[in-house]
């Protein structure tokens, strides 16, 4: 009973926690009790102390290593060459006994571990000089086990793919080349998954959603399929795209480019005047995209610009459907997390020029509603017809997380009901709309939610308040969508559980990579502002300080040890640091002014010094 298995998470300060695989509270591991285990390893722990729910243990066996590939820099000590990992949670240097090449200082490399006791490795790739253009992002990718280039057999298979659909295949399909289908994407998009066409018919609507027929080109058990399964999803670090499929498919034959014939899977829906789907058809088709539109163009049209008059009927019908569907989703309790995303503009050398906030426009919302409706329709179709398939599921938040969320809300004189209905969250978020604490509360509402994942079982989607939901609309960049297309074609898929698990893990990996790349470029950008003052909001509080988010979306730490007017203790239930002598407090949601004292690119961290808790815009640096 004193032996427990679980996953180890190591803190930057050197200690760790093991999360038991069978549930229960985390086990604290002191640095001297890690016994060579590294962050992410699966370990066996012996409990050595259990006092008032605080369990402490020592690692007695490393069951499974999280990874054996690490990214870092080369350094010399006498005649020995050492490798220092970028991951600062690994405080051990790794000896490279067989590396004899000359190298400049601070060369970034990829190392594979060849011996854990003692810790030795071999260089498998030289990435280049630290901080050289593109090197740091490549390092982030490699540290997560991501290769950008496709294996030779995969690239060879892609090169043999036809450049245009065969006449023989076109003849087998329902032809929709007569429809003025459009794609609507960002200016820089190259992998165009989806096209749409709508028209109003006697007070009702026809909506066609046409999705790239990737499943026709990527067949099961082929080199292309195995690589797509391994990658799971396309990844979008801030300066590049790492596609799931080679560009011959993702930007070529599968992409719904304008002016050429393309194979697609259609989901055509008849929608009544209230916005409900009353009939639908799902089938393979051939289309000929009339125009490739951008969000900017469509937004201008919706504002009265005449530039897209030849698409007017389609766009006006789409706008009406959008309004009806948003109303339906709101009425059933769907949660809109309308949080602006941070976007970093880079120059040709990959250097950050500007940080902006990307806010969803009407054109983007129109496409989102069309895709949501197609995904729901396809999911319900597979359930009703008992077709084994994959689903995108989002389960009910745990009571413990709802309780923690309510503790936060109490500081704003708010309270959420049991949190078992999406509308409970929707009501809270509507109450804080446009208030100073809106983003903080939205962020914690998101943290309260379960993590969305893939499953062979339809468990519904809590956030969308949808009984049926899947991912059907992006097979160029998501493997689960490709599987759903195969299911619709009648392909029997035996390993849905394995695919669900792998796809969920690969999605989380992609999110981590994208977040790390964004953090890197954000810190690089902020280096120029060291010594300047900024307005910010306290977004989270810990026992070692509080994190402040600036207006442009970047965040940094004010250390508790740097608050010199008192000794501040962390009061978890208050979400605050509170002075033991003065009673002065710093809560989540408080406005503060801070000075940027450090921008550490290596650690991807900003450090602030508190200037005042009274904002004065005249003294604030313009970012």
Q: What are phi and psi of 453, to 5 degrees?
A: -155, 175
Architecture field, domain 3-64: Beta Barrel (2.40)
Predicted local distance difference test score (pLDDT) of residue 484: 98
Estimate to the nearest angstrom the gap between the alpha carbon of 428 and the chain centroid: 24
Please compute the mean of the pLDDT values over residues 358-366 and round it to a whole number.
93
What residues form DSSP beta bridges with 534?
A: 594
Mark 499-513 as b/e (b = at least 16 C-beta within 10 Å).
Answer: bbebbbebbebbeeb
Task: Let me know how many helices (H) and strands (E) the chain has, helices first.
Answer: 14, 29
12 pLDDT higher than 90:
no
Q: What are the contacts of 345-350 at 24+ separation with CB within 8 A?
A: 346/238, 346/239, 346/521, 349/133, 350/133, 350/134, 350/137, 350/239
- Is there a shared CATH topology between the 3-64 domain and the 530-619 domain? yes
Encoded tokens for 390: 């994959």
11 near 62, Cβ under 8 Å? no
Cα gap 569→546, rounded to integer Å = 11
Q: Is there a contact between 392 and 454 (Cβ–Cβ < 8 Å)?
A: yes
Higher pLDDT, 93 or 148: 148
Average pLDDT of the segment spanning 354-381: 95
Distance CA 88, CA 70 (A): 12
Determine the average pLDDT of the residues in 351-360: 91
In terms of phi and psi (left: phi > 0; alpha: psi -120 to 50; beta: otherwise), the region of 150 is beta
Extract the tokens encoding 54: 């605080």
* Model pLDDT for residues 477-523, shown as the tens digit of each residue: 999 999 999 999 999 898 999 999 999 999 999 999 999 999 999 99
pLDDT tens per residue across span 517-551: 999 999 999 999 999 999 999 999 998 999 999 99
Kind plus residue range of the DSSP H or E element containing 172: none
Report the C-alpha gap between 363 and 300 in whole angstroms.
9
Separation of alpha carbons 561 and 383, rounded Å: 57
- Contact predicate 188/292, CB 8 Å: no
Considering the chain, what is the average pLDDT of its residues?
A: 92
Q: What is the mean pLDDT of residues 2-24?
A: 88
Between CA 146 and CA 156, with CA 151 as vertex, the angle to 5 degrees is: 145
Rounded Cα distance, 12 and 29, in Å: 13
Place of tokens 């004193």: 2
Residue the block writes with tokens 């989380």:
508
Q: What is the DSSP string of 41-59?
A: -EEEEEEEEEETTEEEEEE
pLDDT for res 1 = 52
Beta bridge partners of 595: 533, 609
Contact 520, 592 (CB under 8 A): no
How, if at all, do strands 585-587 and 605-612 pair?
unpaired
Phi and psi dihedrals of 589, rounded to 5? 95, -10
Question: Of all helices (H) and strands (E), which one includes residue 467?
Answer: none
Residue 122 pairs in a beta bridge with 112
Residues 6+ away with beta carbon under 8 Å from 218:
224, 225, 228, 245, 249, 482
pLDDT band at residue 614 under the 50/70/90 scheme: low
Question: Which one is the CATH code of 69-130: 3.40.50.460, 3.90.550.10, 2.40.50.700, 3.90.580.10?
Answer: 2.40.50.700
Would you call 412 exposed, middle or buried from its count of C-beta atoms within 10 A (0-12, 13-18, 19+)?
middle
CATH superfamily of domain region 530-619: Nucleic acid-binding proteins (2.40.50.140)
Residue-level pLDDT at 49: 78
Give the per-residue pLDDT at 251: 96
**What global pTM score does this model have?**
0.92
Cα-based distances in Å from 205 to 13, 245, 317, 525: 59, 35, 7, 48
Rounded CA separation 66/251 (Å): 34
Among 548, 566, 570, 565, which residue's Cα sits nearest to residue 557? 548
Domain ranges in the chain are: 3-64, 69-130, 153-389+472-515, 530-619
């Amino acid at each position: 009973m004193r032996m427990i298995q679980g996953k180890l998470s190591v803190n930057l300060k050197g200690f760790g926690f093991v999360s038991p695989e069978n549930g229960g509270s985390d086990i604290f591991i002191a640095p001297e009790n890690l016994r060579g285990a590294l962050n992410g390893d699966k370990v066996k722990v012996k409990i050595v102390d259990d006092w008032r729910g605080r369990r402490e243990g020592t690692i007695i066996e490393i069951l499974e290593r999280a990874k054996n590939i690490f990214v870092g820099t080369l350094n010399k000590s006498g005649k020995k060459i050492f490798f220092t990992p970028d991951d600062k949670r690994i405080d051990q240097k790794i000896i490279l006994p067989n590396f004899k090449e000359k190298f400049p200082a601070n060369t970034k490399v990829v190392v594979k571990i060849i011996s854990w006791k003692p810790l030795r490795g071999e260089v498998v790739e030289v990435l280049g000089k630290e901080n050289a253009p593109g090197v740091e992002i490549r390092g982030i990718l490699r540290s997560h086990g991501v290769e950008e280039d496709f294996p030779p057999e995969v690239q060879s298979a892609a090169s043999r793919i036809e450049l245009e659909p065969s006449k023989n295949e076109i003849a087998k399909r329902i032809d929709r080349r007569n429809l003025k289908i459009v794609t609507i994407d960002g200016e820089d998009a190259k992998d165009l998954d989806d096209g749409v066409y709508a028209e109003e018919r006697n007070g009702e609507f026809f909506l066609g959603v046409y999705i790239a027929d990737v499943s026709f080109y990527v067949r099961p058990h082929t080199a292309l399929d195995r690589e797509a399964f391994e990658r799971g999803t396309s990844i979008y670090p801030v300066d590049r795209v790492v596609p799931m499929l080679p560009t011959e498919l993702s930007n070529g034959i599968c992409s719904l480019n304008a002016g050429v014939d393309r194979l697609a899977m259609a989901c055509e829906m008849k929608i009544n005047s209230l916005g409900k789907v009353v009939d639908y058809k799902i089938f393979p088709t051939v289309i000929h995209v009339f125009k490739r539109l951008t969000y900017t163009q469509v937004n201008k049209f919706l504002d009265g610009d005449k530039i897209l008059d030849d698409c007017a009927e389609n766009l006006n019908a789409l706008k009406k459907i959008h309004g009806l569907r948003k109303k339906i989703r709101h009425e059933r309790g769907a949660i809109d997390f309308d949080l602006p995303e941070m976007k970093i503009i880079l120059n040709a050398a990959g250097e950050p020029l500007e940080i902006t906030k990307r806010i969803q426009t009407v054109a983007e919302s129109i496409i989102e509603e069309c895709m949501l409706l197609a995904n729901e329709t396809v999911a319900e179709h597979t359930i009703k017809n008992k077709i084994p398939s994959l689903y995108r599921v989002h389960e009910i938040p745990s009571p413990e997380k709802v309780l923690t969320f309510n503790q936060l809300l109490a500081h704003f004189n708010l309270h959420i009901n049991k949190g078992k209905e999406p509308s409970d969250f929707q009501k809270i978020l509507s109450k804080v709309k446009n208030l100073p604490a809106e983003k903080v509360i939205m962020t914690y509402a998101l943290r309260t939610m379960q993590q969305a994942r893939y499953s062979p079982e339809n468990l519904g989607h809590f956030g969308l308040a949808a009984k049926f939901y899947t991912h059907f609309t992006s097979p160029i960049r998501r493997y689960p969508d490709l599987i759903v297309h195969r299911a619709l074609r009648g392909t029997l898929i035996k390993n849905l559980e394995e695919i669900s698990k792998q796809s969920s893990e690969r999605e989380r990996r992609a999110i981590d990579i994208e977040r790390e790349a964004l953090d890197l470029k954000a810190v690089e950008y902020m280096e120029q502002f060291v010594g300047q003052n900024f307005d910010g909001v306290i977004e989270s509080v810990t026992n070692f300080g509080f994190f402040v988010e600036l207006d442009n979306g970047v965040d940094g730490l004010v250390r508790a040890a740097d608050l010199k007017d008192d000794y501040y203790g962390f009061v978890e239930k208050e979400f605050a640091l509170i002075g033991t002598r003065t009673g002065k407090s710093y809560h989540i949601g408080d406005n503060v002014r801070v000075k940027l004292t450090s921008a550490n690119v290596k650690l991807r961290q900003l450090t602030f010094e508190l200037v005042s808790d009274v904002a004065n815009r005249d003294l604030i640096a313009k970012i």
